[in-house]
Amino acid sequence: MAAADKFRPFIGRASTPVKNEVEKGAIRKFAEAIGDPNPLYRDEQYAAGTRYGHIVAPPTFSRTFDYGVIPDFELPVAGLIHGSQEFNYKKPICAGDVVYCANKLLDVFEKSGSLGTMVFLVFEQTVADEAGEPFLVQKSTVIYRPQA
Amino acid sequence: MERMERYQPGQALGPLVKPPVTKTQLVMYSGASGDFNPIHTVDEFAEQAGLGGVIAHGMLTMAFVGQMLSEIVGVEGDLLTFGIRFTGMVRPGDVVTCEGTVKEVEDVEGRQVVRADVWGMTQKQERVVAGHAEFAVPLG
């Protein structure tokens, strides 16, 4: 059996969207961790004077949200590598926003190379408002090496 | 932060030179991101995993490039798309420099839309992340 086969039945399946509250303290801690001094991420008074009106989340902050679990889908614990990450931004995420986050398995494919068999799992993650209008859509490719 | 000049194809973006990555920073990023994989924080674990010590989260390095892009778009511009492939490992002590090159520009409804290649490189000249970004800035 090909290593990718056990993942293929889950293509197209998604988690139930999870409600996440965007907290200004979480944004500030994230900005501190990445060493980004931008006042938009920490200074409420400054941010209020901009077109955003509120503290804004940095471009990759959305990765910190809870996206729920795809029913019955189990990701291996070991042998995983983050291969690539894409963001498609629709509207800014600000402190105080309530967002609904879901994860879907978009595609599975297999490649053989010098490192042995590699299974590529492509996930599409959506961050939307209560009406279902997206803030952003992100795509993550996770590489699984069964022999690792 | 506001840049009102027009971007031209071939133009360089950055550099943003980040301070050396520290183990404390990896612990901070684990807490801030919720990614507690011990390969980023526990040397013994990372050594047993064959990594020769802790490595930085790929998403931390991507965030460095994100900082460069946020500084470029400023308060009035918008980042539209941002994609990265993770092509190398970053370790404590490494200095990551973020850069880019403008590929295409287009005027759209009073704004300039810029498509660029972007990357992060260590002091050993190794590209550890490489990808693309698209952003819109007001026309001056």
Q: Is A31 contained in some domain? A: no
What does CATH list as the number for B12-138? Answer: 3.10.129.10
Give percent helix, percent strand, percent coil of chain A, each to the nearest 5. 20, 40, 45
Residue numbers in B near A35 (CB within 8 A): 18-19, 25, 64, 67
Over residues A4-47, the pLDDT tens digits come to 899 999 999 999 999 999 999 999 999 999 999 999 999 999 99
Residue of A nearest to B134 (CA): A88
In angstroms, the separation between the Cα of residue B10 and the nearest Cα of chain A is 23
| Nearest by Cα to A23 from A57, A58, A52, A67 | A57
Residue B29 CB: number of other CB atoms within 10 A? 25
pLDDT at B2: 46
Q: Look at the pTM and tell me if it is higher than 0.90.
A: yes
Q: Is A28 contained in some domain? A: no
Is the pLDDT assigned to residue A135 strictly greater than 60?
Answer: yes
pLDDT at B1: 44
Cβ-nearest to A35 among B18, B69, B80: B18
Over residues B85-95, the pLDDT tens digits come to 999 999 999 99
Domain count, chain A: 1
> What mean pLDDT do residues B23-37 have?
97
The CATH number covering residue A103 comes to: 3.10.129.10
Confidence of residue B4 (pLDDT cuts 50, 70, 90): low
Look at A26 and B32 and tell me if their CB atoms are within 8 Å: yes
**Which structural domain range is residue A104 located in?**
3-22+65-144
- Residue pair B100/B114 in contact (Cβ under 8 Å)? The answer is no
Those residues of chain B whose CB sits closer than 8 Å to some CB in chain A are 18-19, 25, 28-29, 31-34, 58-60, 62-64, 66-67, 69-71, 75-76, 78-86, 131
Q: Is A73 contained in some domain? A: yes
User: What is the value of ipTM here, to two decimals?
Assistant: 0.95
